[in-house]
Structure 1
């Protein structure tokens, strides 16, 4: 019985592990994570620092977004919020921390500046998850040559080399930085795609794929000829996996009987669909125009 158990991890957790694993080999991203959390802690634990930051933001005419942490039960959403807040508040935070960096009594602000300098849906089916992962992977591969939305906004503002101004702040930019960025981006995307295969590869074969194919009616072919053989191989995979449990079940007879009942089920569903279509075409479409396509 225990050999038949199917372990399914949370899809969102798998995706977060994929992103996290792909970033571990990049020290700059690790330092960025530390900096974002450090900024969050600095303002979250100090009402004085928060008031000062608001004052700086008002003087710079910046709409301040509350700094966020990237630690939490849902790592990716927290990371998105933390990065978005950092980008929006970048000039205000930088000016505020710089004003305190030389203060011997404000060690935290000084440490944060050093850190900056070092790196300047519940109803998803397996079929829908697989499609979503393919779209995500294709979008990432496209980003190897075409910058994504946020990177494009950054590059457009900074401009080609030797442009080095972002949000009114002068950046430390070298001529080799563009090539280095491209190499890091390509390595990161390749790593993410590899980890997607590692984390989600089991969804594309075995009992997972069989169950997703058989029991998701949107996969069933409309043509009766194609429907006749649809799912037979998946049924064998399904029965083989749960063999120990099925053999102990009084209602289970054999794989041959299961195939016969599988065909009966498909025929019954097909006939029911045809009956509904015939009823609809018989005049209900005209009588109920509000339900028309």
Structure 2
């Protein structure tokens, strides 16, 4: 009964509440009718775009760009003088587009960007100088995480450390989670990529380098770099990483096209003059490959087989059947295995080194991105630590270890006392030092076809010199041997199979094979790119003749050959090919005058800075030559960064996230040089609604992406 009375009492008051609500609404209407609203001048201090007119409030930005503004009352006049209406319009996407267009027009009209205020200045006014500084601190911290290839989870820890050290970051309690760091990453990478895109947009020619691999998540990916001129010198830039749907030629080409289109330009094919890759058939096959697709309709595009790969293949082909080298490799592998998998063995080695008053390094593995530098490094360690290693393996051979370990110690100690093998070891140390320097030079960033042949010729001459007489390492070994009772001693160790008669003929034959294989790989007459790369040598000022008459006709035929090959491309970029020869004569006169006066010649790259307008046609051809890719080794360095970032613990990172992380790691400036202002601007203006840096979530609230939340609400 009591419950029925309470319900009746509740429903009886419904009409009273509705009546009171209606009275309040009517009262508000009367108040608004009597109240005279007007424009408040202080609003312009926060919103400089608003202006009061006879027709009401208007937005100067939207009025200037009506096509972008769409249907908004702030174009013709908004008579609803409320601060809420102004704030709503300021946060709208169409208003931001009009504002960006307005400032872009001002930037184009005025080269001094400091004479106007952009959206970032409005953000500063809203945030306040203090908050703006704190947001920059967060972006600097996020950039440190990306640049140092650290996991996102360390972001909040680093912020907590700064707060503990007295930072004011405690004032902003939002955007301090690991998810915030992940959301900052796209804006940081976009800020890094913007100047790269601008340089690519202004260049006339570019080349690409690409390579494929399988990451730790067992996904096939293709990495892409591009090369262009930056202040007259070739510069390689990371483009992107794309996951392959198929590993055949169509799949690889589609991945390259997607990366270049998404991150560079949809018109990248119009500027393409060359492509570099390894020798895989899917990349450089004659009939059905990526190279045939890149050259489809563009016969001038040069598809270059990476010279570093070709050098490795030539050396391996030359030495793979040499029994002494096979023995040396087997010995080096056993030495590495012995110390890599046994801390006790490494500890014993260091104790022996300490007793002998010598320093010892842990032997290295033969495996690596490049075989030649790694085996050369392993040999150098063996030669340097010879005494300590021999003493330890002799001890191992007489120990009570397992038969496998004792057998390994006996094998290595016997080989280290073999005079013939030591002789070959020191010879290979001299030989591989030359080849390793050549390989490392081919792997340098920015190596051009102009440098290629000179470096190769220098290496060949060094090999021929080594053929005439023993190198420094081998000669030092021979000189250090002492003879007692017709027995050879090296570092107080008696050598087996010692002979006082040194026969260099066998070792000379090894050099002949190496020179022949290198020349066959790097100077293959059937290589379609060889003639163009050789013709490009005319732009190497070191090879110019001293005689004035010879200089006058130097390079004329090669210039015509290059002009004919790139005829279609030169015409497309507006080059007057009839002016190439006259300008070439002027270039030789400008630079060659110093040659006749016995002055060191500058590189031809200096013309891009000193005389860009006077020689504009010949510089177009020189730009093409300089951006041709000789090596794709930079792709291997990209995969090394990929391996460091995408580890087994972070195998779920998406391709988009990996692109952000790789770009920051590879192309990002140092922490000292990094400026977060542009990234903060992109973040502030990139949201679908206004950012809330001062929003403090409750202790039980879960931080949610603002853009995802807005999309969810719009779809409800």
Q: Partner residue of 2:532?
A: 207
User: 1:101 Cα deviation (Å)?
Assistant: 2.1
Three-state SS of the structure 2 residue aligned to 1:7 is strand
- CA gap of 1:15–1:163, structure 2 versus 1, over 3 A, is farther
Distance in 2 (CA, whole Å) between partners of 1:206 and 1:193 is 21
- The answer (yes or no) to whether the contact 1:35–1:116 under 8 Å persists in 2 is no
1:241 aligns with 2:538: no
Highest CA radius of gyration, 1 or 2?
A: 2
In structure 2, relative to structure 1, the CA distance for the partners of 1:15 and 1:116 (3 Å cut) is: farther
After superposition, where does 1:34-113 map in structure 2 within 5 Å?
34-102=330-398, 103-105=400-402, 107-113=404-410
Structure 1 distance, partners of 2:519, 2:489, is: 39
* RMSD (Å), alpha carbons: 3.4
Name the counterpart of 2:467: 144
C-alpha contact (below 8 Å) 1:100/1:106 kept by paired residues: no
Task: Quote the Cα distance in structure 2 between the aligned partners of 1:153 and 1:141.
Answer: 19
Q: Deviation per CA, 1:134-188, whole angstroms, max 9, x where unpaired?
A: 3322222232342111101110111479442112222102438733xx2331111
Structure-2 separation of matches of 1:31 and 1:183: 20
Q: Is the 8 A contact 1:211 1:238 kept in 2?
A: yes
Distance 2:592 2:379 in 1: 53
Report the equivalent of 1:263. Answer: 581
State how far apart, in whole Å, the 1-side matches of 2:590 and 2:456 are: 34
In the alignment, is the contact (CA less than 8 A) between 1:39 and 1:112 conserved in 2? no
Alignment of 1:79-228 (within 5 A): 79-102=375-398, 103-105=400-402, 107-114=404-411, 117=414, 120=418, 121=441, 122=444, 123-159=446-482, 162-175=486-499, 178-179=502-503, 182-202=504-524, 205-213=530-538, 215-219=539-543, 225-228=549-552
CA distance in 2, matches of 1:242, 1:23: 39
Specify the alignment match of 2:555 in structure 1: 231
Per the normalisation by structure 1, the TM-score is: 0.76
- Count of matched residue positions in the alignment of Structure 1 and Structure 2: 268
Q: Cα deviations across residues 9-58 of structure 1 (Å, max 9, x unaligned)? A: 44333333333322112111111012112211211221111110011112
Name the CA shift for 1:275/1:187 in 2 (closer, same or farther; >3 Å): closer
Distance (whole Å) between structure 2 residues aligned to residue 62 and residue 14 of structure 1: 39
Q: Is the 8 A contact 1:228 1:263 kept in 2?
A: no
Comparing 218-227 with 146-155, greater Cα deviation is found at 218-227
Give distance in 1, aligned partners of 2:406 and 2:373. Answer: 26
Higher helix share: 1
Following superposition, the deviation at residue 246 of structure 1 comes to 4.2
Runs of 4+ aligned structure 1 residues displaced above 6 Å come to none
What residue in structure 2 maps to residue 280 of structure 1? none
- Give ranges in structure 2 of 5+ residues lacking alignment: 1-294, 419-440, 595-716
**Match of 2:516, SS?**
helix
Cα deviation digits, residues 187-239 of structure 1 (max 9, x gap): 110011101211221599501111232x4355456776545433331133224
Structure 1 window deviating more from structure 2 (145-154 vs 198-207): it is: 198-207
Deviation, 1:115, is 5.0
**Closer, same or farther in 2 for the Cα pair 1:6/1:108, shift >3 Å?**
farther
Is the deviation greater in 86-95 or in 119-128? 119-128
1:15·1:196 contact (CA, 8 Å) conserved in 2? yes
Aligned to 1:283: none
Question: Is this contact kept in 2: 1:210–1:238, CA < 8 A?
Answer: yes
More displaced 10-residue stretch of structure 1: 20-29 or 225-234: 225-234
In the TM superposition, residue 87 of structure 1 has moved relative to its aligned partner by 1.2
**1 CA distance for matches of 2:487 and 2:450?**
46
Normalising by structure 2, what TM-score? Answer: 0.34
Q: Distance in 2 between matches of 1:137 and 1:250?
A: 39
